[in-house]
């Protein structure tokens, strides 16, 4: 069946039912498209499990991060609710106060992450506070009527969730019929609460979860995009009824809290009793994610420096979206397992060792082809080399050992990285970066101790004062003690020794201070001359003085840290078999996540040779060959024009070029025919350019088109 | 025209100036007593050379320089394919520089030369008055071109003359150009330098010129980058008047092509580089199963790049989706809509077998989302050709499509072509779409996509509109036809009036009465309703509340229609 039709633009294809059963699984496509068939099932399974793991982990992290915020919100709801409860009893209060308790939730510009926050927020509220929650989005509510409709719909539906299912039909009917007004809302609320009240003995579980006469929470997901009028109307109307049922508003704000006042006039905003809540900034959010997901040994897949840089750049320069960052990471996982046959070994160590044993011969060859493994082989003695290159079993043994090494390397790498970060993050001007991710990138890129930045940070570290140094050492000890690495006992011992030395120094100083102080008091009565003399002496002594004990110790500490760095923070691509666990094709990632369609178009039009590998198109210098595709020639010509293009001139120029290109073959007799063909080709090229958005028809002058792009060329 | 702008501090600008331009300057210099105005006309179109490198005749060094130039650029075709962002943004979108209309012809003459050869336009062959008709000059030009190329020693005299002729048409309005004297100065400066260079190679004979490499690089220091840009911008947009030649296609005396002949002609001319294009396509076809995998993993796929992606997607459909429920949406179809008519309805009616209507597309969308969430066995592949088409690019359509695509069991694969297509999506939509971008530059002609395009610019035959007009009219009573004719004639009489609002109902009624076509305004109204239902006319209410009637067809079609009607009668 064709999809080309003059009367229809949409075509549905349904396979016959018996055919449909043979629907292919995702694993099938994984296998099909994979570059190498080896172990594809196993790889796919590993990939899936890893993805799932990452997903649950990130979700958990996000929940933890939001916990504080949600706690605050819940306590706010409780406070406002108790106020309502009190008011209920006092008639006077009830009539006077019309303020709606409102929580302004400042979430930051990363709009794409908000969805998740709101979802978990409503979950939390649903579980702990109230069943009556409505989530409103601006795009659903162009008018107050739609807003009320949506609100009632959501509230009544959630009521159904609590209720038994047999009433559903009744509710459904009433919903569509009901006139959406505040009164219906109130009536519904009263009946709903009454019903739950009366049913309380029967349904202990549900009622204990929620508070008595639970508040109705209305969440405006994207406050900024609501039209002012809708918001105003809603606030004014509901403030009229605030005494009759407990309403709480939550505004999701992406920009700044000032937006409330610019959206709502004073008369309206005075009806709100606003409390401000600030969510965690997306930057902190990202650091936590990176910290918990990338800087651990928990997940076998690691990102190389370039890949990480791409992901971070997309985050920092494009969207600030943590969700997108995670998406990028997920894509890395898929790409890695999809493109690399050896990724089958990218799993936890024990499992990987087991898998090594069952590697096929082809896979062994794949291992031998790895550049890092070749380097390793070259460094071995010749007999060993032969064994590694020819005997599969000895290769497997070696691979097991190397994998173990790699694992140990990672186990040591991260704690030491954190220790180094403790030092560098407190230095002035942060030569190695403020965030641990920057440090991580620097370490992955090349030997960090060879960089200038590292040098200067060591210099700075040698000037730290004692209290800072002590706290840093303590932090390092904490980090190392809590990490699972096996080799750290020694280091911890050493660090503790430093700490005690500092302690001793302190005591010594104190003693000295006590001994000096009486002298000073004696000197107080000397004259100016004496004072000058003593000062000079002091100065002299300071200059000549060798390093104090403290300074010696400080040097020692810094040198020790330096030695640790040199030993443990070797860049990963110096490690054998790093290709198995590191994903490093950053270009793929950038192509798919951060594509540049305009540049692709530009390149194709300007330099068709980069796509069509034909010798005829090869052109040196700046210009394109006149044998280029029609559209390229038309594009080139149109670049020479201003805002308007005369089609007649354009056609003339086009045919000049094209006839020249075809020159020898065209004979004069059929020139009329040729002209028509060229004319047709020109029309095609021009309409293609129109489709691409370079030109549009213009009515300013006959036979002219307007150019839509600037400059170029 | 490779140009790289290093946007760092102290930015350098490197630019190619083709040999031809350089030589042209000298030629004109030599061709004594060139008026200032003329000088301007031939001033190089590009922003000009400020500092010229000492150029030696030594080929080897030339090559060397070329290499270092590439190194400076850090960009070559290969690279830009692999990592797309290597082409700086500045290269693609610089501000517009004021350009002359004759530059196109100039460039054409440049391009017309076979690459590797350069031309020396002979100043003596520079006639001031070539009063030939465009047609004849064209003919002669093409014949000369052939002649010359046969000799394999091409001299672009005719295009040059053509350019001159174009220039003549412009001479009187030249004073408008003088605002951009800075460019002229630069041009002169460059000329001087070039002439010193050329004095090296004493004999500017053709053979010599041929031996010189096709282009020289010149280093241009960009002084105050920002200032220049701002000035250029305002210069380009200062006057609403744009200078172009007044020639029209009518003067070329080409017969207009209609859709059918156009199609036939294009079928006749072979597709250039078919083999290479096929190779490209094969490369993309190997990605099909990867696409399927990624679709299944929750991503959606968007294809971009020059060339029609219709065939590629079609191939994808036939090879991968035969056993699945799928929906193909031709975005370029003129009356496609997301909302009520096409896409959502196709899903609810044909995929979900739902009978019934919805109050609003949002309701419909909700219904679809609910169904797909409930029934996890439901899967739907959606292929959209031209997601950025006129009809689908609206904010609401995109929102609905984005929401649809965010469902885990709906797999969307779409293509975009417009250069500004990504601007359709804000962050929220992009995250709903969850795109994975794939570059599929195919270079295939946009046959399907442009065939619906009504405008087709000037060549618009209006045959479709015409045939529908005649079709509908044929089914009407003679009186009704007469009424329509009246309106059409009136509209044609007023075609030169740009602010023609249409024929007011009262006037129209009066005319119809006079022609004995209607006897009461009720019958006329009934007739008009019928026209309106067939979209033959449009009514507009003027500022004074009077109803105006218009036929929404362009004038040429309308006159064709009237001619045809006359023949029939």
**Contact at CB, B350 and A14, closer than 8 angstroms:** yes
Residue A15 pLDDT grade (very low, low, confident, very high; cuts 50, 70, 90):
confident
A637–chain B nearest CA distance, Å: 5
Residue B16 pLDDT grade (very low, low, confident, very high; cuts 50, 70, 90):
low
pLDDT > 70 fraction of chain B, expressed in percent and rounded: 52
CB-CB neighbors (< 8 A) of A29 in chain B: 289-290, 292-293, 296
Query: Taking a C-beta distance cutoff of 8 angstroms, is the pair A298, A580 a contact?
Result: no
**Contact at CB, A14 and B305, closer than 8 angstroms:** no
Taking only the tens place, the pLDDT of each residue in B73-104 is 333 333 333 333 444 445 555 444 445 556 66
Residue A672 pLDDT grade (very low, low, confident, very high; cuts 50, 70, 90):
low
Q: Are residues A271 and A294 in the same domain?
A: no
In a domain, residue A127? The reply is: yes
In a domain, residue A11? The reply is: no
- State which of A3-7, A397-401, A664-668, B104-108 shows the largest mean pLDDT: A397-401
- The predicted pLDDT at position A333 comes to 92
Please determine, for residue A393, whether its predicted confidence score (pLDDT) is greater than 80: yes
Q: Are residues A256 and A369 in the same domain?
A: no
Pairwise CA distance, residues B346 & B351, whole Å: 7
Residue A303 pLDDT grade (very low, low, confident, very high; cuts 50, 70, 90):
very high
Average pLDDT over residues A411-435: 88
In a domain, residue A688? The reply is: yes
Question: Which of A602, A610, A652 has the CB atom closest to B81's CB atom?
Answer: A610
Q: Are residues A103 and A118 in the same domain?
A: yes
Q: Are residues A253 and A292 in the same domain?
A: no
Q: Which of A84-98, A350-364, A406-420, B211-225 has the lowest mean pLDDT?
A: B211-225
Instruction: Output the average pLDDT for chain A.
Output: 81
In a domain, residue A50? The reply is: no
Q: Are residues A268 and A354 in the same domain?
A: no
Q: Are residues A572 and A613 in the same domain?
A: no
Pick the more confident residue, B232 or A176: B232
Nearest CA in chain B to A693: B418
Question: Which of the listed residues A582, A609, A635 is the one where a domain comes to its end?
Answer: A582
Q: Is B370 on the interface with A (CB under 8 A)?
A: no
Query: Taking a C-beta distance cutoff of 8 angstroms, is the pair A553, A501 a contact?
Result: yes
In a domain, residue A1? The reply is: no
Residue ranges of B 72-91 with Cβ closer than 8 A to chain A? 77-78, 80-85, 87, 91
Instruction: Output the average pLDDT for chain B.
Output: 65
Q: Are residues A365 and A504 in the same domain?
A: yes
Please determine, for residue B25, whether its predicted confidence score (pLDDT) is greater than 80: no
Q: Are residues A253 and A309 in the same domain?
A: no
Average pLDDT over residues B287-314: 90
Question: Which of the listed residues A262, A280, A298 is the one where a domain comes to its end?
Answer: A280
DSSP codes joined into one string, B243-299: ------HHHHTPPPPPHHHHHHHHHHSPPTTHHHHHHHHHHHHTTHHHHHHHHHTT-
Q: Are residues A459 and A395 in the same domain?
A: yes
Q: Are residues A632 and A575 in the same domain?
A: no
Nearest CA in chain B to A628: B272
- The predicted pLDDT at position B416 comes to 92
Strand pairing report for B12-18 and B215-221:
antiparallel
Average pLDDT over residues A599-608: 87
Query: Taking a C-beta distance cutoff of 8 angstroms, is the pair B306, A605 a contact?
Result: yes
Q: Are residues A429 and A486 in the same domain?
A: yes
- The predicted pLDDT at position A518 comes to 47
- The predicted pLDDT at position B204 comes to 38
- The predicted pLDDT at position B143 comes to 40
Q: What is the pTM of this model?
A: 0.73
Instruction: Retrieve residue A345's tokens.
Output: 């070994």
Alpha-carbon Rg for chain B in angstroms: 30
Pick the more confident residue, B528 or B52: B528
- The predicted pLDDT at position B168 comes to 42
**Contact at CB, B257 and A680, closer than 8 angstroms:** yes
Please determine, for residue B179, whether its predicted confidence score (pLDDT) is greater than 50: no
Residue ranges of B 110-129 with Cβ closer than 8 A to chain A? 110-115
Residue ranges of B 158-187 with Cβ closer than 8 A to chain A? 159, 162, 166
Question: Which of the listed residues A559, A582, A605 is the one where a domain comes to its end?
Answer: A582
> Which DSSP category does A711 fall into?
-
Query: Taking a C-beta distance cutoff of 8 angstroms, is the pair A193, A107 a contact?
Result: no
> Which DSSP category does B421 fall into?
G
Instruction: Retrieve residue A216's tokens.
Output: 């109705």
In a domain, residue A40? The reply is: no
Query: Taking a C-beta distance cutoff of 8 angstroms, is the pair B433, B228 a contact?
Result: no
- The predicted pLDDT at position B27 comes to 46
Question: For A283-304, b where at least 16 C-beta lie within 10 A, e where not — what string?
Answer: eebbbbbbbbbbbebebbbbbb
Which one, of B44, B167, B53, B57, lies nearest residue B110 by Cα? Answer: B44
Pairwise CA distance, residues B395 & A272, whole Å: 32
- The predicted complex's ipTM stands at 0.83
Pairwise CA distance, residues A105 & A120, whole Å: 14
Q: Are residues A337 and A429 in the same domain?
A: yes
Please determine, for residue B429, whether its predicted confidence score (pLDDT) is greater than 60: yes
Backbone angles phi, psi at B155, to 5 degrees: -125, 125
Q: How many domains does chain A have?
A: 3
Pick the more confident residue, A353 or A97: A353
Please determine, for residue B397, whether its predicted confidence score (pLDDT) is greater than 90: no
**Contact at CB, B419 and A663, closer than 8 angstroms:** no
- The predicted pLDDT at position B500 comes to 79
Query: Taking a C-beta distance cutoff of 8 angstroms, is the pair B50, A564 a contact?
Result: no
Q: Is B145 on the interface with A (CB under 8 A)?
A: yes
Alpha-carbon Rg for chain A in angstroms: 36
Nearest CA in chain A to B399: A139
Pairwise CA distance, residues B68 & B75, whole Å: 12
In a domain, residue A253? The reply is: yes
Taking only the tens place, the pLDDT of each residue in A149-186 is 888 888 877 654 444 443 444 444 444 445 667 888 88
A-B CB pairs within 8 A amount to 426
Please determine, for residue A424, whether its predicted confidence score (pLDDT) is greater than 50: yes
What is the residue range of A227's domain?
A: 62-192+211-280
CB-CB neighbors (< 8 A) of B417 in chain A: 691-693
Please determine, for residue A487, whether its predicted confidence score (pLDDT) is greater than 80: no
What crossing angle do the helices spanning B134-151 and A647-662 adopt, rounded to 10°? 20
pLDDT > 70 fraction of chain A, expressed in percent and rounded: 82
CATH number assigned to the domain comprising residue A232: 3.40.50.300
Taking only the tens place, the pLDDT of each residue in B479-520 is 888 888 888 888 888 877 777 778 888 888 888 888 888 888
Average pLDDT over residues B247-275: 71
Instruction: Retrieve residue A81's tokens.
Output: 């609710």
Taking only the tens place, the pLDDT of each residue in B183-204 is 333 444 444 444 444 444 433 3
Query: Taking a C-beta distance cutoff of 8 angstroms, is the pair B37, B171 a contact?
Result: yes
HEC letters along B316-341: HHHHHCCCCCEEEEECCCCCCCCCCC
Pairwise CA distance, residues A663 & B145, whole Å: 7
Nearby residues of A383 by Cβ (< 8 Å), 6 or more positions away: none
CB-CB neighbors (< 8 A) of A140 in chain B: 362
- State which of A70-74, B25-29, B137-141 shows the largest mean pLDDT: A70-74
In a domain, residue A456? The reply is: yes
Pairwise CA distance, residues A594 & B437, whole Å: 8
Please determine, for residue A127, whether its predicted confidence score (pLDDT) is greater than 70: yes
B521–chain A nearest CA distance, Å: 36
Query: Hey, which residues does B464 pair with through a beta bridge?
Result: none
Instruction: Retrieve residue A442's tokens.
Output: 């620097």
Q: Does residue A211 sit in helix, strand or coil?
A: coil
Residue of B457, B468, B471, B500 best to disrupt the A interface, most CBs of A under 10 A: B457
CB count within 10 Å of CB B279 equals 14
Residue of A7, A141, A656, A675 best to disrupt the B interface, most CBs of B under 10 A: A656
**Contact at CB, A593 and B322, closer than 8 angstroms:** no
> Which DSSP category does B96 fall into?
P
CA atoms within 13 A on the CB side of A500: 5
């Amino acid at each position: 069946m064709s999809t080309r039709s003059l009367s229809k633009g949409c075509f549905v294809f349904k396979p016959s039912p018996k055919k449909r059963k043979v629907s292919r699984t995702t694993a099938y496509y994984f296998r099909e498209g994979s570059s190498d068939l080896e172990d594809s099932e196993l790889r796919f399974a590993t990939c899936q499990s890893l993805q799932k793991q990452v997903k649950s982990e990130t979700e958990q992290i996000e929940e933890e991060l939001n916990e504080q915020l949600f706690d605050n919100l819940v306590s706010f709801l409780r406070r406002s609710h108790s106020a309502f409860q009190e008011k209920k009893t006092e008639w006077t209060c009830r009539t006077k106060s019309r303020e709606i308790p409102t929580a302004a939730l400042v979430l930051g510009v990363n709009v794409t992450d908000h969805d998740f926050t709101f979802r978990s927020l409503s979950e939390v509220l649903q579980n702990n506070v109230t069943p009556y929650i409505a989530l409103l989005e601006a795009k659903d509510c162009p008018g107050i009527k739609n807003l009320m409709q949506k609100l009632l719909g959501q509230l009544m539906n959630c009521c159904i969730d609590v209720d038994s299912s047999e009433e559903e039909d009744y509710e459904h009917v009433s919903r569509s019929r009901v006139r959406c007004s505040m009164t219906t809302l109130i009536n519904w609320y009263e009946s709903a609460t009454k019903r739950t009240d009366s049913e309380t003995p029967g349904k202990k579980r549900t009622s204990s979860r929620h508070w008595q006469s639970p508040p109705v929470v209305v969440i405006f997901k994207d406050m900024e995009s609501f039209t002012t009028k809708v918001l105003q109307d809603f606030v004014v109307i509901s403030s009229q009824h605030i005494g009759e049922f407990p309403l709480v508003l939550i505004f999701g704000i992406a920009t700044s809290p000032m937006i409330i006042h610019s959206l709502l006039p004073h008369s309206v905003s005075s009806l709100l009793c606003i409390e401000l809540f600030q969510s965690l900034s997306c930057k902190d959010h990202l650091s936590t994610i990176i910290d918990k997901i990338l800087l651990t040994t928990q997940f076998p897949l690691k990102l190389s420096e370039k890949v990480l840089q791409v992901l971070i750049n997309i985050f920092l320069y494009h969207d600030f979206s943590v969700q997108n960052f995670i998406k990028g990471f997920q894509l890395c996982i898929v790409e890695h397992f999809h493109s690399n046959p050896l990724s089958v070994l990218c799993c936890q160590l024990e499992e990987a060792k087991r898998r090594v044993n069952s590697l096929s011969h082809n896979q062994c060859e794949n291992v031998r082809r790895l550049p890092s493994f070749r380097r390793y082989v070259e460094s071995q003695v010749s007999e060993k080399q032969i064994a590694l290159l020819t005997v599969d079993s000895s290769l497997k043994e070696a691979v097991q050992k190397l994998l173990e090494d790699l694992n140990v390397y990672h186990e040591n790498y991260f704690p030491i990285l954190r220790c180094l970060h403790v030092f560098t993050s407190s230095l002035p001007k942060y030569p190695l970066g403020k965030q641990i991710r920057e440090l991580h990138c620097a370490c992955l890129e090349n030997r960090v101790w060879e960089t200038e930045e590292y040098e200067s940070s060591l210099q700075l570290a040698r000037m730290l004062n004692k209290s800072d140094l002590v706290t840093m050492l303590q932090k390092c000890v904490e980090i190392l003690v809590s990490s699972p690495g096996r080799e750290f006992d020694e280091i911890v011992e050493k660090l503790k020794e430093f700490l005690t030395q500092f302690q001793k120094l302190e005591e010594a100083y104190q003693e000295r201070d006590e001994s000096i102080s009486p002298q000073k008091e004696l000197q107080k009565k000397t004259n100016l001359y004496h004072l000058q003399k003593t000062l000079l002496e002091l100065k002299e002594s300071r200059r000549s003085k060798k390093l104090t004990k403290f300074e010696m110790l400080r040097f020692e500490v810094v040198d020790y840290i330096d030695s640790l760095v040199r030993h443990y923070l070797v860049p990963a691509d110096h490690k054998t078999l790093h290709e198995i666990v590191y994903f490093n094709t950053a270009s793929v990632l950038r192509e798919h996540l951060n594509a540049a369609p305009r540049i692709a178009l530009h390149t194709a039009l300007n330099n068709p040779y980069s796509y069509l590998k034909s010798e005829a198109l090869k052109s040196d210098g700046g210009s394109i060959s006149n044998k280029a595709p029609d559209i390229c020639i038309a594009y080139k010509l149109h670049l020479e024009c201003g805002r308007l293009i005369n089609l007649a001139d354009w056609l003339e120029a086009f045919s000049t070029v094209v006839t020249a290109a075809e020159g020898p073959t065209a004979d004069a007799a059929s020139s009329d025919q040729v002209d028509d063909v060229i004319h047709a080709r020109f029309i095609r090229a021009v309409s293609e350019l129109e489709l691409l958005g370079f030109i549009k028809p213009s009515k300013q002058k006959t036979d002219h088109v307007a150019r839509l792009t600037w400059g170029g060329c | 025209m490779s140009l790289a702008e290093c946007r760092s501090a102290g930015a350098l600008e490197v630019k190619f100036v083709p040999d031809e331009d350089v030589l042209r300057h000298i030629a004109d210099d030599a061709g004594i007593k060139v008026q200032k105005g003329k000088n301007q006309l031939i001033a190089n179109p590009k922003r000009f050379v400020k500092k010229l490198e000492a150029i030696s005749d030594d080929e080897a060094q030339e090559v060397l320089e070329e290499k270092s130039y590439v190194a400076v650029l850090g960009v070559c075709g290969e690279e830009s394919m692999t990592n797309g962002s290597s082409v700086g943004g500045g290269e693609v979108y610089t501000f517009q520089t004021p350009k002359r209309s004759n530059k196109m012809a100039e460039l054409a003459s440049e391009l017309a030369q076979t690459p590797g050869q350069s031309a020396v336009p002979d100043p003596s062959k520079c006639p001031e008055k070539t009063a030939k008709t465009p047609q004849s000059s064209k003919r002669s030009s093409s014949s000369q071109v052939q002649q010359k190329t046969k000799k394999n020693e091409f001299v672009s005299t005719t295009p040059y003359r053509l350019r001159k002729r174009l220039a003549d048409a412009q001479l009187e309005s030249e004073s408008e150009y003088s605002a951009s004297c800075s460019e002229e100065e630069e041009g002169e400066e460059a000329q001087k330098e070039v002439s010193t260079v050329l004095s090296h190679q004493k004999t500017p004979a053709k053979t010599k010129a041929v031996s010189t490499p096709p282009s020289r690089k010149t280093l241009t220091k960009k002084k105050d980058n920002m200032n220049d840009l701002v000035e250029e911008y305002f210069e380009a947009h200062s006057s609403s008047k744009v200078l172009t030649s007044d020639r029209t296609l009518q003067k070329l005396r080409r017969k207009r092509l209609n859709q059918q002949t156009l199609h036939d002609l294009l079928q006749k001319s072979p597709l250039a580089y078919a083999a290479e294009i096929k190779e490209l396509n094969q490369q993309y076809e190997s990605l099909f199963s990867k696409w399927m995998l990624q679709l299944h993993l929750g991503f959606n796929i968007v294809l971009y790049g020059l060339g029609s992606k219709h065939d590629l997607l079609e191939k994808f459909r036939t090879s991968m989706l035969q056993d699945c429920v799928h929906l193909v949406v031709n975005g370029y179809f003129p009356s496609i809509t997301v909302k009520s008519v096409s896409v959502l309805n196709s899903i609810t009616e044909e995929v979900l077998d739902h009978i019934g209507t919805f109050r609003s597309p949002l309701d419909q969308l909700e219904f679809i989302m609910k169904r797909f969430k409930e029934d996890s066995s439901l899967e739907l592949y959606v292929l959209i050709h031209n997601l950025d088409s006129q009809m689908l690019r609206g904010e609401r359509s995109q929102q609905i499509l984005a929401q649809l695509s965010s469902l885990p069991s709906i797999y969307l694969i779409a293509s975009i072509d417009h250069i500004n297509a990504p601007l359709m999506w804000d962050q929220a939509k992009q995250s709903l779409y969850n795109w994975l971008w794939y570059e599929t530059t195919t270079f295939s002609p946009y046959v399907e996509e442009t065939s619906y395009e009504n405008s087709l610019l000037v060549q618009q035959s209006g045959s479709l509109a015409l045939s529908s007009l005649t079709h509908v009219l044929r089914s009407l009573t003679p009186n009704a036809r007469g009424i329509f004719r009246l309106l059409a004639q009136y509209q044609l009489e007023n075609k030169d009036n740009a602010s023609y609002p249409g024929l007011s109902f009262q006037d129209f009624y009066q005319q119809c009465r006079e022609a004995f076509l209607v006897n009461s305004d009720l019958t006329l109204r009934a007739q008009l309703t019928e026209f309106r239902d067939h979209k033959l006319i449009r009514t507009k209410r003027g500022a004074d509340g009077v109803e105006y009637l218009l036929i929404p067809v362009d004038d040429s079609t309308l006159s064709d229609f009237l001619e045809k009607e006359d023949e029939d009668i």
